[in-house]
Structure 1
Amino acid sequence: MHRLLSLIALVASLLSLAPAVHAAGSPMRPEEAYVLSAQALDAQTVEVTYKIADEYYLYGDKFRFRAEADGVEFGTPQRPPGKVKKDEFFGEVETYRKSVTILLPVTAPQGVTKFRLTATSQGCWDGGICYPPNSQGADIDLLAKPVKTGGNFLDGLLGGDKAASTSGAMSTTNASFEGDESGRIAGLLRDASVPLILVSFFGFGLLLAFTPCTFPMIPILSGIIVGHGHHISRGRALLLSLAYVLGMAVTYALAGVAAGMSGTMLSAALQNAWVLGSFALVFVVLSLSMFGFYELQLPTALQSRLSDTASHQKGGSLGGVVVMGVLSALIVGPCVAAPLAGALLYIAQTGNAVLGGAALFVMALGMGAPLIAVGVAARSVLPKAGPWMDGVKKAFGVMLLGVAIWLVTPVVPSLVPMIAWGALLLFSGIFLRALDPLPTNARGWQRFWKGIGIVALIGGGAILVGALAGSRDPLQPLAVLRSEATAAPGPQSATQPTFQRVTSIADLEAKIAAADRPVMLDFYADWCVSCKEMEHLTFSEPAVASRMNRMLLLQADVTANSDDDKALLKRFNLFGPPGIIFFDGKGQERNNLRVVGFMKADAFGNILDRALR
């Protein structure tokens, strides 16, 4: 009897709760579950935001937009990557929960500033109901001042509410593409604690220190140290190295903040013949002084007030070294790697220049840590005064000439750097006495350096021969002769990917609309070292090239940094090359497949496999 009473009481309690459960589990009307808002960010961009109720989601590929006005047209919607969900009916689909903000490029006839936007979406409720496509409307005024919807400054600094910061991000620039590495780094800045962010970016800097964009800084700093001669102390070498790195770090932070707020990299604007040529000339002048052609000295009136350690090398004063660090950051290493792109993306989205700038400053310190070690080591290995010291200075003079050639390569005809590299190696071999007979009692070091000279002589000759034969690759100067000898047509030549150039947003949209297959868009510049790496080390791999040839290959050459180039970069929320964007056969961007910075062939092949599915 006791059990029966207990069972009756349990059933009664469940029945009393049933109406409440039913009320809580009733599906909402679609306009309540998915609240639409829209505004114009500027005369060319409309921001559309959906606030999505808990337990509801929207499908990423079901958004449709149209303007209820003659002549007003929308470009390709820009939306952040959603969460992949295995749908019972649609298979793997991209979905959004909580909120999603989409940017619509808009073109309107002159004089048309107001129109009605109709947005169509489709989603489901976790309780088991899927809605048919639902259309909602909003009035748009292209001249109205946009309302910022994101978190405040303190929220951004401390990594506050993610949804708020994401919404605010979209009100300033394109969507956050968190599927790619730069987007994930931007997410780290939004969500992680400040100490973790700074430690992470220092680690990113250490990794970037061993990339080709940073290598030219090594002979620059080493040349400054060696230029003092044997009398420089280890402490002075450390101080000069710190000054160089601090100049570089402050510049990275300030230029990065400016780029994030404006959407344009200052370093890209400096990649022109006059700037690069002037900076290269500085290195030529410094290198010739190391060969003993002349001495760079300060005015006599200042020499009496300065110590001997700062009187024989213009770059030896702390101020001069700081300036050299500033110029190196702006001119020598302009390529955009994923950590730099992520920090710029975060600054652009949130307007939080303090945390973004601090992250870039710490990243530059990480990049500079190996440089400091090299600077101190350069002092430690310096011999005492004499022939050996003269030989070390000449070696660094050769390195500085190499930096000068490297700097002007993007802005001169490709034949010029080939001849310059060949001549540099030839003269280096002659200086190493490759053509002089060895004495019968020659010691081991003499034979060793003569061997290096002979190798340099042969290498320089090969580069010059290759240049005259039509080669423009100093690392493989004779490959053109081999290819001519085996010029029979075959699959090897057919696998080389060929790009079509796009020059503007309109040109890009037309080519994507006409495509009947997946599209790959590559952002490239002649002055971008990582772009050259992608071209020679990744795209040239047969397995990668064969996959690429199954796609429509488009390339935006932003070398000139023209207004069209800037517009293309801004359209995809990029701050500079290299960057690779993928589109499916319907012209929709595959946000989660973006590539920013250099990527090895194996990893890039995996990205291509996903893009071709």
Structure 2
Amino acid sequence: MKLPLSKSLLYTFRALLAACLLLFTLSNNIAMAGFSSSSKSSFLGSSEDTAILEPDQAFKLDITAKNADTLDALFIIAPGHYLYRDRIKFEVKSPQNATVSTELPHGEMKQDATFGETEVFHHDIEASLKLAFASQPPETITLIATYQGCSEKGLCYAPIKKILDIPLDSTSLSSANDDPIASLLKSGKFWLVAVGFFGFGLLLSLSPCVLPMIPILSGIIIGDKRSHHQQTSKLHTFNLSLAYTLGMAVTYTLAGIAAGLSGKLLSNTLQTPWALGGMALLFVLLSLSMFGFYELKLPQSIENRVLNVASRFKGGRFIGVFIMGIFSALVVSPCVVAPLAGILLYISQTHNVILGGIALFTLSLGMGVPLLLIGASAGSLLPKAGAWMESMRQFFGVVMLAVAIWLITPIIPNGVQLLLWAALLIIPAIYMHALDSLPTDASKWAKLWKGVAIIMLLLGIAMVTGAVSGAKSPLQPLAGLKLGSAPQDALPFQRVKNLAELEAAIKASPNQIVMLDFYADWCVACKELEQFTFSDPRVKTALKNVTLLQADVTQNAEEDVAMLKRFGLFGPPGIVFFASSGNEITDAKVIGYQNADQFLLTLNKLAL
């Protein structure tokens, strides 16, 4: 029975509201671990109006290195408090040959009971600290920070003095790759952050992070239509897409907050043979049901109970799709791209999980726009039940098998990958009559599908040839034949397992630029860098005099996590460069995939 349009819209609104409430509740619970009471009250308000905050709760200071001669000092001011502008001072304790100058924004004039007419800050501010050295910059600088503020309730705090050790070679939020991202987050404006990161999500919506989810959702919609044996309405398929997208978005948000606070990506820990194999098996079972081998149904007694419950609660089907979106986000898409890395680094440095969570949630919604478009259009684009419907089901059955193969490619040999792709091309091509003769009166559509089937058959044969000849990629199945040309050697990377080995390798190349590449077997973008960027002759020539190091973080061990954290990364791919002096070149840092042309522009910054 179809629901009236108004009721369906009401259920859609309720689903959105429930997801937002769930997101807010869970993110607030996570925030309890890293947030002070002053930070919570800044968003939620506080019932303890008479409570007096400790100085470190009223005024928080976080300093990070922007580059070797610039520091960013962030003051987080609790509501109902203010800092005196002229009481903020910074000086260098060590090394002795260094000086610091402070650039502060303009504040607000206030008639203060203690100091009279003076300039103050009521909200969070960021100061820029410029460093100058008489000789080579050190790895760490020690600063003395002094500041003073008051509560609007009439209490003035004594001057606060802190001694802080700041690593100058650590990666900061505002690297060359994510300056707009850093600026957007540091603005602290919720609506600006939401709109900006929704736009970033739109730009990422056709990236490898989202593409595998499109056939998954399409298969869910096809399966839903078949189970209902009726024309699927636009609103119903849109609601399915919305439930799936919200599951993906909530997972990205909560997992991202946890990653920002802990320094570990949950999705990285799930890139194990058991997890990937389990998800691949699930898609194989779903695909077999699409081919009509069996119906995925519960036992009759349990199904009757479920139907009784579902009759009282209209969203039962959507909960299942919501859960599928959760698992897809965790296992199918362990992508680390510049906007995501910027948000995670912001959360890790400021512990502002509310603003960071909003950025993650809106980024995920932007990435989910293609999924919502599928749902909005599927009601009219999908054919009615009949022969076409059976063909559509079988097509998405093949697509789900493709997703299963894609999931396990990181854990199986290249030859097996090629053979699986070959089977996925050749067997459907035979069913599409690639080897059968067409009747003389065959329709144009029959001839078209015959041509498609022949192309699939030939591609499958190429995959088999590649598996036998030692090809490394399904995208270049005949590369192993070489066809008389000289073999293309891979870049001569030296593997480093931990920070100690990295430091030793850098010291062993005192007069050379050093490149450190973070790689993992389960990282699709890492393999794209290897196959398309690092294999480019121009890139090889540019890197001829560069020491090449590689950290394999496939196992996500403690040493791997420590190396990623050392450079402000949350997962591969990532490339870090070091000058001949051994200091990191922060402006050349790479996060995510770059093609050969983009990577050459990055190398130009190194003046090779």
What TM bracket, shorter-length normalisation?
A: 0.7 to 0.9
Larger radius of gyration: 1
Task: Find the residue that maps to 1:520 and give its secondary structure.
Answer: strand
Query: 2:445 matched to which residue of 1?
Result: 445
> Deviation digits for residues 350-384 of structure 1, max 9, x if unmatched?
00011101110111011111111123333322222
Query: 1:561 matched to which residue of 2?
Result: 556
1:179 shift after superposition:
2.4
Say if 2:234 and 2:375, in contact at 8 Å, map to a contact too: no
Query: 1:392 matched to which residue of 2?
Result: 392
Query: 1:60 matched to which residue of 2?
Result: none
Say if 1:419 and 1:463, in contact at 8 Å, map to a contact too: yes
Query: 2:65 matched to which residue of 1?
Result: 80
Question: Does residue 527 of structure 2 align to residue 532 of structure 1?
Answer: yes
The amino acid that maps onto 1:498 is: P
> Superposition pairs for residues 191-210 of structure 1, below 5 Å?
191-210=187-206
Q: Equivalents in 2 of 1:121, 1:346: separation in Å?
A: 31
Q: Equivalents in 1 of 2:550, 2:454: separation in Å?
A: 41
> Superposition pairs for residues 573-592 of structure 1, below 5 Å?
573-592=568-587
1:538 shift after superposition:
2.0
Say if 2:264 and 2:561, in contact at 8 Å, map to a contact too: yes
Say if 1:170 and 1:349, in contact at 8 Å, map to a contact too: no
1:265 shift after superposition:
0.2
Task: Find the residue that maps to 1:581 and give its secondary structure.
Answer: strand
1:321 shift after superposition:
0.7
> Deviation digits for residues 262-285 of structure 1, max 9, x if unmatched?
000000000000000000100000
1:302 shift after superposition:
5.1
Query: 2:184 matched to which residue of 1?
Result: 188
Assess, with a 3 A threshold, how the Cα gap between structure 1 residues 557 and 125 changes in structure 2: closer, same or farther: closer
Q: Equivalents in 1 of 2:451, 2:381: separation in Å?
A: 22
The amino acid that maps onto 1:122 is: A
Tell me the percent identity.
49
Task: Find the residue that maps to 1:80 and give its secondary structure.
Answer: strand
> Deviation digits for residues 427-450 of structure 1, max 9, x if unmatched?
111121111221221111111111
Say if 1:169 and 1:348, in contact at 8 Å, map to a contact too: no
RMSD between superposed Cα atoms in Å: 3.5
Unmatched runs of 5 consecutive residues or more in structure 1: 1-77, 83-93, 102-116, 141-146, 153-163
Q: Equivalents in 1 of 2:273, 2:453: separation in Å?
A: 32
> Deviation digits for residues 427-476 of structure 1, max 9, x if unmatched?
11112111122122111111111111111111011101110111121111
Task: Find the residue that maps to 1:81 and give its secondary structure.
Answer: strand
1:550 shift after superposition:
2.1
1:567 shift after superposition:
0.9
Query: 2:485 matched to which residue of 1?
Result: 486
> Deviation digits for residues 159-186 of structure 1, max 9, x if unmatched?
xxxxx9xx99979x95414223235423
Say if 2:514 and 2:546, in contact at 8 Å, map to a contact too: yes
> Superposition pairs for residues 73-152 of structure 1, below 5 Å?
80-82=65-67, 95-96=69-70, 119-123=95-99, 132=134
Task: Find the residue that maps to 1:453 and give its secondary structure.
Answer: helix
The amino acid that maps onto 2:209 is: C
Question: Does residue 352 of structure 2 align to residue 357 of structure 1?
Answer: no
Assess, with a 3 A threshold, how the Cα gap between structure 1 residues 282 and 150 changes in structure 2: closer, same or farther: farther
Unmatched runs of 5 consecutive residues or more in structure 2: 1-62, 76-92, 103-131, 150-159
> Superposition pairs for residues 438-517 of structure 1, below 5 Å?
438-481=438-481, 483=482, 485-487=484-486, 493=488, 496-515=490-509, 516-517=511-512
Assess, with a 3 A threshold, how the Cα gap between structure 1 residues 202 and 151 changes in structure 2: closer, same or farther: farther
Assess, with a 3 A threshold, how the Cα gap between structure 1 residues 346 and 442 changes in structure 2: closer, same or farther: same
Question: Does residue 245 of structure 2 align to residue 245 of structure 1?
Answer: yes
The amino acid that maps onto 1:247 is: G
The amino acid that maps onto 1:276 is: L
The amino acid that maps onto 2:559 is: D
Give the stretch that moved more between structures: 230-239 or 403-412: 230-239
Q: Equivalents in 1 of 2:133, 2:599: separation in Å?
A: 38
Q: Equivalents in 1 of 2:569, 2:96: separation in Å?
A: 28
1:214 shift after superposition:
1.5
Give the stretch that moved more between structures: 190-199 or 584-593: 190-199
Say if 1:418 and 1:474, in contact at 8 Å, map to a contact too: yes
Query: 1:217 matched to which residue of 2?
Result: 213
Q: Equivalents in 1 of 2:587, 2:240: separation in Å?
A: 43
Say if 1:224 and 1:316, in contact at 8 Å, map to a contact too: no
Query: 1:52 matched to which residue of 2?
Result: none
Task: Find the residue that maps to 2:548 and give its secondary structure.
Answer: strand
Question: Does residue 234 of structure 2 align to residue 234 of structure 1?
Answer: yes
Task: Find the residue that maps to 1:611 and give its secondary structure.
Answer: coil
Q: Equivalents in 1 of 2:558, 2:198: separation in Å?
A: 34
1:195 shift after superposition:
1.2
Query: 2:422 matched to which residue of 1?
Result: 422
1:592 shift after superposition:
1.4
1:532 shift after superposition:
2.0
Task: Find the residue that maps to 1:227 and give its secondary structure.
Answer: helix
Query: 1:341 matched to which residue of 2?
Result: 341
Assess, with a 3 A threshold, how the Cα gap between structure 1 residues 418 and 139 changes in structure 2: closer, same or farther: closer
1:593 shift after superposition:
1.2
> Deviation digits for residues 26-75 of structure 1, max 9, x if unmatched?
xxxxxxxxxxxxxxxxxxxxxxxxxxxxxxxxxxxxxxxxxxxxxxxxxx
Say if 1:124 and 1:131, in contact at 8 Å, map to a contact too: no
1:209 shift after superposition:
1.1
1:218 shift after superposition:
0.5
Q: Equivalents in 2 of 1:298, 1:518: separation in Å?
A: 61
Say if 2:522 and 2:554, in contact at 8 Å, map to a contact too: yes
Query: 1:179 matched to which residue of 2?
Result: 175
Query: 2:290 matched to which residue of 1?
Result: 290
Task: Find the residue that maps to 1:257 and give its secondary structure.
Answer: helix
Assess, with a 3 A threshold, how the Cα gap between structure 1 residues 456 and 125 changes in structure 2: closer, same or farther: closer
Query: 2:368 matched to which residue of 1?
Result: 368
> Deviation digits for residues 519-548 of structure 1, max 9, x if unmatched?
111111111122122222322222122112
Assess, with a 3 A threshold, how the Cα gap between structure 1 residues 149 and 544 changes in structure 2: closer, same or farther: farther
Query: 1:39 matched to which residue of 2?
Result: none
Q: Given the two structures, how large is their TM-score scaled by the length of structure 1?
A: 0.72
Assess, with a 3 A threshold, how the Cα gap between structure 1 residues 294 and 170 changes in structure 2: closer, same or farther: farther
Question: Does residue 299 of structure 2 align to residue 299 of structure 1?
Answer: yes
Q: Given the two structures, how large is their TM-score scaled by the length of structure 2?
A: 0.72
> Superposition pairs for residues 36-55 of structure 1, below 5 Å?
none
The amino acid that maps onto 2:187 is: D
The amino acid that maps onto 2:276 is: L
Query: 1:53 matched to which residue of 2?
Result: none
Count of residues in correspondence between the two structures:
477
Assess, with a 3 A threshold, how the Cα gap between structure 1 residues 353 and 431 changes in structure 2: closer, same or farther: same
> Superposition pairs for residues 291-330 of structure 1, below 5 Å?
291-301=291-301, 303-304=303-304, 317-330=317-330
The amino acid that maps onto 2:374 is: V
Q: Equivalents in 1 of 2:358, 2:165: separation in Å?
A: 19
1:549 shift after superposition:
2.2
The amino acid that maps onto 2:70 is: Y
Assess, with a 3 A threshold, how the Cα gap between structure 1 residues 290 and 603 changes in structure 2: closer, same or farther: same
Assess, with a 3 A threshold, how the Cα gap between structure 1 residues 442 and 378 changes in structure 2: closer, same or farther: same
The amino acid that maps onto 1:579 is: G
Task: Find the residue that maps to 2:551 and give its secondary structure.
Answer: strand
> Superposition pairs for residues 591-606 of structure 1, below 5 Å?
591-606=586-601
Superposed structure 1 runs of 4+ greater than 3 Å apart: 94-101, 120-126, 130-136, 147-152, 167-171, 301-308
> Deviation digits for residues 183-225 of structure 1, max 9, x if unmatched?
5423420125221111010011111111112111000000000
Give the stretch that moved more between structures: 464-473 or 295-304: 295-304
Assess, with a 3 A threshold, how the Cα gap between structure 1 residues 150 and 212 changes in structure 2: closer, same or farther: farther
Say if 2:336 and 2:571, in contact at 8 Å, map to a contact too: yes
